[in-house]
Structure 1
Amino acid sequence: TRPAPPARRVRLAVVGSSTGGPEALSRVLSSLTAPPPVPVLVVQHMPPVFTRQLASRLDRLGPAAVVEAAGEPLVAGTVYVAPGDRHLEVRRTGSGFETVLTDAPPVNFCRPSVDVLFTSAVQAAGGELVATVLTGMGADGRVGCQAVVDAGGTVLVQDEPTSVVWGMPGAVAQAGLAHQVLPLPEIGAALERSFTPQGVPA
């Protein structure tokens, strides 16, 4: 793992997952103790319709509101799930951020792609973000996590024993891009700590 980056305010959280991800997302969101103080964006590799069903299921689990992203201003405390077969990007607006959906070609054979989301989040928020990579096949997210690290953001990944497939989180960890490699039950608490870094004025 990498040494922790300097403490800084977090303005966005981004999450990527694939095989085993719906269950992992359920565990993380249900473990939150309060609605997150920042918007959270999720790419879960899934076909259309299933992503809407996933969002409505996750919405019932924890303190965060969960919706399928539809091109809207981002609101703290809300989780935005990328619709199946659309890329989800973040764009900075005058007063904050908004979601943008595109039909650009697949990246890493995936649409939505974790790399597309993470890279756009860095362009929008710089290093003021935390990225989390959960269980999944392949390496989607590694390029995006490189961008997060280069900008000074924080990267959390799920550990191998609790992952259904340690492809995506493993690719990030093996590239030396993870600040913390954590068992699934600890990720929600680690996310909450990252939202309120010590020594940074709230």
Structure 2
Amino acid sequence: MTGGASSAIRVAVAHFPSTTAAVPRVRRSTVHMLTTWSVDPDAVSVAEVVVCELASNAAKASHPDDVMAIRLTATSGSILIEVWDSNDAGPRITDPDTDSEDGRGLLMVGALSSRWSWYRAKTQGKVVWAEISSGLVPEPAAMVTAMPTRTPTVGPEPTEPIAYRTDPETLRRVADALRGLDRWHRPRPPESVAHRISVRT
């Protein structure tokens, strides 16, 4: 590790009732968590707007008795906001009228984030995600712990030619498919769904 860059990854998951009334709690929870992680203040402000838009869309797409889940992942280079709801239908970008108050959420998300997309969860529902550039404030060099390294081993030679695809669209589809296997959005039954946060570092 050089230049004082942090190798830390912070992950938190929170569950909320799937109602528009819960959106302010989603906003406060997100701001509190990112601020606790020492995320760049400008990035926190952007994340605050993005998570509100995604949570509002999730609430509108869901039954009031459902749950929506928010996962935040912060690194030194980005913040990833993921919002799960139980509706399998993909998000739709509309072209709102000039005087319309609705329909601008995803347009705003697209304008504020470096990229956004969505994927279907393996169990049920979908996850809409947005990535914001910037992230954790770098730790002082003295606090950075070097990551352990492993010695590479030689594996067997392939029996058939291997074709590698590294175009962004293919990599995005693979990443979304892998994310869809993770059941992070499902709350643990013994705990209240009203508002649960779990944090990993």
TM-score between the two structures when normalised by the length of structure 2 = 0.27
TM-score between the two structures when normalised by the length of structure 1 = 0.27
Q: Which has the higher contact order (CA 8 A, sep 6+)?
A: 2
